[in-house]
Amino acid sequence: MSSVTIYDVAAKAGVSIKTVSRVMNNEPNVRPVMRERVLAAASELGYSPNLSARSLAGSRSFVIAVFVDAALTIDHWQSERGADYLSRIQLGATLVCRDAGYHLLIELIDHEGPQVRQEVAALLAALKPDGVILTPPSSDNAVVLELLDRAGTPYVRVGPERAEGLGPRVHMDDVAAAREMTDHLIGLGHKRIGFIVGEPRYGASQARRDGYLEAMRAKGLSVPEFWVRQGDFTFQSGLEQAKALLALPERPTAIFASNDDMALGAIAAIADAGLMTPGDVSVAGFDDSPSSRFSRPQLTTVRQPVAEMSSVAAKLLIERSRGGASTERPVDELLPFTLIHRASTAPPPR
């Protein structure tokens, strides 16, 4: 109940509270002897500085906030994608925060509607976080970015659609990833490769399609318009669009879906059509979601460095909150993806 304060430690160590403060903050200009004595007293008393007091008195709050879209979370919280993506984001950030003595605050933001401005402003005013990690679609929300800038709160945009000039970002190269996966399929001998596009509201959807198209064209393969189908990241849409592809007179020998859920849908469609994966039709996904390993056959897919992105983001923010000013050039971290070759892709039937 009655917790240990800095005064208690100071008294026990026989120093002033200012010295205790110095020790707790790892400031220089404290003799090792003093430091030891204070540390001993602190640990004996089980002292831990009060965050609110630190935040109120000083310029740091030791809090990193993560902005997550409310509608998205609620709509999609049952889908593989949402849950998985968010967990990974959190894992990366939480680990970094814990090690640095920071704390992670999750905030649901309602991006639709007119109250965003007020909501976010209130949040920033109340919390004064040392940094904010923006997940899509926050990463591209003009209002949010403006308020953050105006409040002077450092932030990092994770996986944003729009390019530089909008503040620090940590992302991966969706175009290259899709291109490489397409190259992989072409390398196996596929020439007729169908593509299922993701939910158009996500920038990643366009990027992945572009990568696919680039790779096809680079190899001189024509891409009839009806090979590129519009999905929405759900299993169901993958199922339907794959069915449509399979119904074509000259059906594709491979299907590349922009995420794993849709790829699983495609595998289901292939099975429903009495065909085999990858014997008759290869399937590639994107995300390396947990279920990509549970499917039969296991899915060839692209692993996104989601946890890594948020952990880099958290590190940047913490570093900055410690270091003080922004001495650096604009941050633009590009993290590597990985192609995961599993069993769902193989050479086309000859």
**Residues near DNA, by CB under 7 A:** 3, 5-7, 15-19, 21-22, 24-25, 28-31, 33-34, 47, 49-50, 53-54, 56-60
Q: Which stretch binds a copy of itself (CB under 8 A): 114-122, 136-144, 314-322, 335-343?
A: 114-122
Map residue 99 onto helix, strand or coil: helix
Q: Residue 6 touches which of a copy of itself, DNA, none (CB < 5 to 8 A by kind)? A: DNA
User: Shortest approach of a copy of itself to residue 56 CB, angstroms?
Assistant: 4
Nearer to DNA, 60 or 157 (CB): 60
Instruction: Find the DSSP H helices in the chain.
Output: 6-13, 17-24, 32-45, 51-57, 70-76, 80-100, 116-127, 142-151, 174-188, 203-218, 235-246, 260-272, 306-323
Nearer to a copy of itself, 159 or 348 (CB): 159
| Interatomic CA distance for residues 121 and 58, integer angstroms | 21
User: Shortest approach of DNA to residue 151 CB, angstroms?
Assistant: 13
Q: Which of 117, 174, 172 is nearest to 146 (CA)?
A: 117
DSSP annotation of 29 reads S
Asked if residue 86 binds a copy of itself (CB under 8 A), the reply is yes
Nearer to a copy of itself, 46 or 220 (CB): 46
Radius of gyration of the chain measured on its C-alpha atoms: 25
Q: Residue 77 touches which of a copy of itself, DNA, none (CB < 5 to 8 A by kind)? A: a copy of itself
Give CA separation, 46 vs 42, 43, 103, 113, in Å.
6, 5, 20, 47
Nearer to DNA, 130 or 260 (CB): 130
Q: Residue 104 touches which of DNA, a copy of itself, none (CB < 5 to 8 A by kind)? A: a copy of itself
Q: Which stretch binds a copy of itself (CB under 8 A): 9-17, 102-110, 156-164, 279-287?
A: 102-110
Nearer to DNA, 46 or 274 (CB): 46
Place of tokens 């995961």: 340
| Interatomic CA distance for residues 339 and 337, integer angstroms | 7
Q: Residue 87 touches which of a copy of itself, DNA, none (CB < 5 to 8 A by kind)? A: a copy of itself
Work out the end-to-end distance of the chain between its first and last CA atoms, rounded to an integer number of angstroms.
75
Concatenate the DSSP letters of all residues of 302-325 into one string. Answer: EE--HHHHHHHHHHHHHHHHHH-S
Contacting residues toward a copy of itself, per CB under 8 A: 1, 3-4, 46-53, 55-56, 61, 70, 73-74, 77-80, 82-84, 86-88, 90-91, 94-95, 98, 103-108, 118, 121-123, 125-128, 151-152, 235, 261, 264-265, 268, 271, 290-291, 293-296, 307
